[in-house]
Structure formats: structure tokens, C-alpha cells
Amino acid sequence: MIEHLTLGEFVVALLMGLAALSAFIWGATSGAFHNVEAIKYQVLQVEDDINE
């Protein structure tokens, strides 16, 4: 028989996994992972502007 504490930990782990999966699916559908290299170049451009 599963103890209540073990069942609670399982439920919490399951909910955290579902939250992470939901966040990933939301990010993928909203385009958050599209063209991630552009952010790097934007940061470098801002740093160059600040240094000048």
C-alpha cells in the first residue's frame, strides 16, 4: 500500500512535470524559440553603443 506522503510527492512531481511541459508547448507555439541567435546580436549591438 502506498503511504500518503509518497502519494503526495508523486502528485507534486506529476504537476511539476505537467507545468514544465505546458510552458514548453506554450513557448514553442508562441514563437519564443524562433531565431534565438538574434538576441545575442542585439545584446552585442547595445554593448557597442554604450561603449561608444
Going by C-beta distance under 8 Å and a sequence separation of 6 or more, which residues neighbour residue 14?
Answer: none
Does pTM surpass 0.75? no
pLDDT score recorded for residue 43: 86
Tell me the per-residue pLDDT of 1-52, one tens digit each, with 9 for 90 and over. 667 778 889 999 999 999 999 999 999 999 888 887 888 888 888 887 787 7
Is 27 in contact with 33 (CB distance < 8 Å)?
A: yes
Give the angle subtended at the CA of 28 by the CAs of 34 and 15, to the nearest 5°: 145
User: What integer pLDDT is reported at residue 21 of this predicted model?
Assistant: 98
